Amino acid sequence: MPFSLDNLLVIGISSRALFDLEAEEAIFQEQGLDAYRQHQLKEETSILKPGAAFALVKALLKLNDLTPGHRLVEVVIMSRNSSETSLRIFNSIAHYGLDITRAALSGGSPLAPYLLAFNVSLFLSLHEDDVQAAINSGVASAMLYRLPENAADPEQIRIAFDGDAVIFSDESERIYQEQGVEAFEQHERENALKPLPEGPFARLLLALSYLQNNFKTPDGRAFPLRTALVTARASPAHERVIRTLRAWNIAIDETFFMGGVNKSAVLAAFKPHMFFDDQHGHCLHASNVVPTGRVPVKQGK
């Protein structure tokens, strides 16, 4: 019977997101494809260093150890490499003992058309065009920033999210941007009982919540996954968020209504494997202390 990716948390990840390939990317950009190809073939047995999403992927794959005979997570390499230049990536995967066996190697072509074919729940990349195309096709996706020095790698999986334009739609965010804070707060007061529309990461959060609520460790302890909402909202715009999560039957473990305060200190204390935000300014600050991914706004609405 064919292996099915249905009912799995499938992470699609580019080779540059999993491993540090910035020197190789510079060769490609400055010297061209042939120079890149020759470099990768020459360095085929050289092990790559971990990249921005390495710790998150490693931690998520460990969840499969909690349910012997029943996989929860599948990771698929989604790379613009050709098969000829990919052996270094597979050699590095084997070196670190990562349980990754599937790959889509597009040979320079866009990757977005293959995300749905692999039932991808989350796509992580450093290639902005691929991330934007993934978001446009309805797949939760983020463009990663460089890994900060001394990034934490806790045993417990920790993922932090911004609210508007990430977990929730950008409907309220647009009111704030176009009409100002008073109009935004008035809109949220008037709609406090109306759940916010889903954003690009809503289904991912639902999947994580399902794992938390339906699985335990073999010794009966709570599932080793913790989520946080770190939002620029504050009172009176907090009520609609709380009621929306309640309507979705989701309990976020930690919630921070920052009211415009810089998020970096809270994120440094929470120590997530990844933080997702839609605004470059927030991401730039956050990326100094924690692994960070920017979620672009969907185009072509």
Please state, in angstroms and rounded to a whole number, the distance separating the CA atoms of residues 158 and 143: 18
Please state, in angstroms and rounded to a whole number, the distance separating the CA atoms of residues 63 and 191: 38
Helix (H, G, I), strand (E, B) or coil at 160: strand
Residues 6+ apart with CB under 8 A from 100: 57, 61, 75, 76, 77, 93
Q: Which of 248, 206, 256, 207 is nearest to 230 (CA)?
A: 256
Please state, in angstroms and rounded to a whole number, the distance separating the CA atoms of residues 301 and 6: 28
162 is catalytic: yes
Q: Which of 8, 155, 19, 137 is nearest to 75 (CA)?
A: 8
Q: Quick count: other Cβ atoms within 10 Å of Cβ 184?
A: 20
* 92 φψ region: left (φ > 0), alpha (ψ -120 to 50), beta (else): alpha
**Tokens at 229, concatenated:** 């909402």
Cβ–Cβ under 8 Å, residues 52 and 147: yes
Q: Which of 220, 289, 228, 279 is nearest to 257 (CA)?
A: 228
φ/ψ (deg, to 5) at 274: -160, 140
Find the catalytic residue in 130, 162, 164, 278: 162
**Tokens at 143, concatenated:** 């463009």
Measure Cα distances from 76 to 118, 133, 237, 264 in Å. Answer: 8, 18, 38, 30
Residues carrying an active site annotation: 162
